[in-house]
Amino acid sequence: MQRGCRIGLLGGSFNPAHEGHRHISLLALKRLKLDQLWWLVSPQNPLKPAAGMAPLKARLAGARLVARHPRIKVTDLERQLGTGYTVDTLKRLRQRFPQHRFVWLMGADNLQQIDRWARWRQIFALVPVAVFDRPSYLYKALASKAARRFGHNRVRIWQADALAAKRPPAWCFIPARRHPASATELRARRARLMKEQKP
């Protein structure tokens, strides 16, 4: 990998990975002018129950099937780093790869509730953040505690391609065609199918 790459980080359980993750990733590569995008498949999200969580190995394999792009890298870096919180993962990645510029990617649903994350203000202080629109979350996200707290650090959409070079705190809201895929709905559909197949 070249020095000084612009790398987007998309964290999550990927339980399961789906086309919505890929849609956001392709959009980020284009709009943010990223060199690579890393999917950080979390061993266990502290805010989600362990019940119903597929094994990490299975989620990694599923994510690789969905990613299907030479610049999207599916990783278990959080397991390798031994980090359970996003803020700690970002600190370790910056230490390990000081030559690269990272951008944290998340959906509007996460901006709405990021104030529940451990040391969430430090996330904005560590790396620029790109927020992607999600169905029914636009207004809630832009009225959220985090959006208000960092309102004066918001980068306008026409400057999105320079976000990776911005000194944090800096964040941008990316309006785009919304993808309907949802991991929650996919799990529910899978559960219904399994129930229907039982004798």
Query: In the 8-state DSSP scheme, what is residue 50?
Result: S
Contact 62, 17 (CB under 8 A): yes
**37 SS3 class:** strand
Residues 6-27: tens digit of each pLDDT: 999 999 999 999 999 999 999 9
Phi first, then psi: give them for residue 187, nearest 5 degrees: -65, -40
Q: Which domains does the chain have, with CATH numbers?
A: 6-197 (3.40.50.620)
- As a whole number, the mean pLDDT across the chain is 90
- Produce one character per residue of 70-99: b if its CB has 16 or more CB atoms within 10 Å, e if not: eebbbebbbbebebebbbbbbbbbeeeeee
Q: Tell me the pLDDT band of 191, cut-offs 50, 70 and 90.
A: very low
User: Does 67 score more than 70 pLDDT?
Assistant: yes
**Alpha-carbon torsion angle 69, 73, 129, 113, nearest 10:** 100
Q: Tell me the pLDDT band of 185, cut-offs 50, 70 and 90.
A: low
User: Does 88 score more than 80 pLDDT?
Assistant: yes
First vs last C-alpha separation in the chain: 52
Contact 114, 82 (CB under 8 A): no
